[in-house]
A and B are shown apart, each in its own frame.
Chain A
Amino acid sequence: MEEEQEGTNNDLNNFLASTDIPVIFLDRLLRVKRYTPAISKIIKLISSDVEHQSIDMSQQLLDADLVADAQSVLENLAPVKKEIRINNNWYIRTALPDRTHDSRIKGVIVIYNNITHLKRAEEKLQKSEEPFRLLVANVKDYAIFTLDPEGRVETWNAGAEHMKGYKEIEIIGEYFSRFYTPEDIAAHKPEKELKTAVETGRTDEEGWRVRKDGSSFWASVLITALRDDNGVLRGFAKITRDITERKKKEKELEEKNAELERFAYTVSHDLKSPLVTVKTFLGYLEQDMRNANDSRIEQDMGYIRTAADKMAHLLDELLEMSRIGRMGNPPVNVSFSKIVEDALNAVAGSIAENGVEVKLDNAAISLYGDSQRLVEIWQNLIENAVKYIGDQKSPRIEVGAETRGEETVFFVCDNGIGIDPRYKEKIFGLFEKLDPKSEGTGLGLALIKRIIATYHGTIWVESDGLGKGACFRFTLPEAIIKLTTGENT
């Protein structure tokens, strides 16, 4: 029995001497009983004859809390485990009661477990991940979030909250299909997208997405399947960007392009037409001069002259057309009555010639815009009205404005020949004319429509049919709204 005990003691001694784990045995008075050589990292035990020294007497104790913790172990008979830092090393220090066979407490065993390398690795990991974590958390322009393999939201960043309107607390754990439109949900689009991501690694697409408040936005979405090192699906990363603005711009550009194409088409047609006339009648002219056919010569030159005039007129109007929206005068406050006055002055000749009576209503309105362009609207409409006044015995044009709902609607009405209801849309097209014999190029109303569009307004015509006169009505919201804001500032 004693031999056995001695053997155990020897084993323990050998172990204590050889281990590089700092361990110290203290008695109930916290005096040093035994220790491992490695304890020197914690306590500088100077001489070899240190046994029975009280630990709190040591000036070289680097573990400041040790005395208090050891005492607490003795008092509470419970181990105390603590993470402590000594110099540049981290330890888990465990202090536990040292019990005899018969469960008496003979002291405290203190073991220092060096975890420095673990701590370093952890710190390093944290440091390397931090920029990414902060990046994801702080990015506002992209919704960056993750889904679990079943498609439930797992993480949520500020951008996602900003874009979709859900707070982190209310969205975590929710199935991600709620970001889709009802039509997409019905078509199982969310599931299909995850499926593609699982199969090919990623899905990207553009489409409508729905915010918490029900409003929608055009999104560019990228879903990436997240797999661990063993290839097991851990979930999905979803990056969403709101590109509604870009989409809008693209659409505007497409419309502009289409308009330009139509424009080029009509221009080439309408310029080619008089060119055919000029060239052909030059041919006839040569023939007729050879034959001295005087009446035909006269006729040929007439056609050539008309065609050339038409081209000149067309080019002038095209130039004018291209200036709208591109070149303008700075916006000013100008009264409606002043605009109409200027417009009437510009067409005074034909008004007098046709004996047209002009009546002006409700002229107290003020407008804000490019006054020259605004004048052109009324000038063209009044010119038009005079041109199509017909054989009316008492020709009359009425110019004014009225309120319809919240809108101010301007009008130029006449009691002239009127318009066949079938052509109410067509007349606003480029180069469209109803009367082939009329002198215009068919650009006048298209021009007006364009000016009105720059003020976000619309124009339409009302007529009870041929012989019943016509009323051109239009709105100029921008020219009116800007006035009120202009007054406030």
Chain B
Amino acid sequence: MKGEPIVILLVEDDPAHAEIVRRNVETSRIANRLEHVADGQAALDYLYHRNGFSDPSVAPRPGIILLDLRLPKVDGLEVLKIVKSDPDLARIPVVILTTSAAEIDVAKAYDYHANSYLVKPVEFTKFVELMDALGYYWLAWNQKPY
């Protein structure tokens, strides 16, 4: 893999979970750059270059968004809805990464056109495996939309 690193936008309010993702992404063999925001409002500010994210070098367009659902300020599903109904952002693959396996959340996420829905595993090895598979699938195998 060569060329520009893929930007991953991680929207995660739990610092510990963000750290888990960060560690996994760091050890990944795929060139990438992880950008972390901790709430839904910040995610939208990042994507729309508002409030401290106006510089494109600070907030480069992500190749993929890892989105938690229960987020402070603006809920994850709301962020998803906004992203998927904006023609400029809709093509960015959005992978839901959450602890919730509730049917309603899964259904709503797909209704709002989430590209994938992943439940954070409670087991360490599984979490690592999942992150590995996620990296390969979305960052290596998957054909980029542009």
Contacts and interface: CB of A to CB of B under 8 A. Distances in A.
A280 interface: yes
Interface residues of A, number: 30
Contact of A282 (B39, B100, B124): B124
B17 interface: yes
Contacts, number: 67
A269 B70 contact: yes
Contacts of A434: 72-73
A432 B123 contact: no
A219 B23 CA distance: 63
Interface string A422-455: 1100100001111111000000000000000000
Contacts of A436: 13-15, 38-39, 72
A289 to B, nearest CB: 13
A266 B100 CA distance: 9
Contact of A275 (B70, B73, B122, B128): B122
Contacts of B100: 265, 269
A255 B127 CA distance: 37
B16 A437 contact: no
B14 A277 contact: yes
A44 to B, nearest CB: 97
B87 to A, nearest CB: 25
Contacts of A273: 14, 17, 99
B111 to A, nearest CB: 18
Nearest to A422: B73
A284 B72 contact: no
Interface in B1-37: 13-17, 19-20, 23
A434 to B, nearest CB: 5
Nearest to A273: B99
A277 to B, nearest CB: 4
Contacts of A265: 100, 102
Nearest to A283: B124
B129 to A, nearest CB: 11
B125 interface: yes
Given A280-B127, A281-B16, A434-B72, 7 more contacts: A272-B122, A273-B14, A277-B20, A282-B124, A283-B125, A306-B16, A432-B72
> Which 4 A-B residue pairings sit nearest by Cβ, starting from the closest?
A283-B124, A436-B13, A277-B16, A436-B38
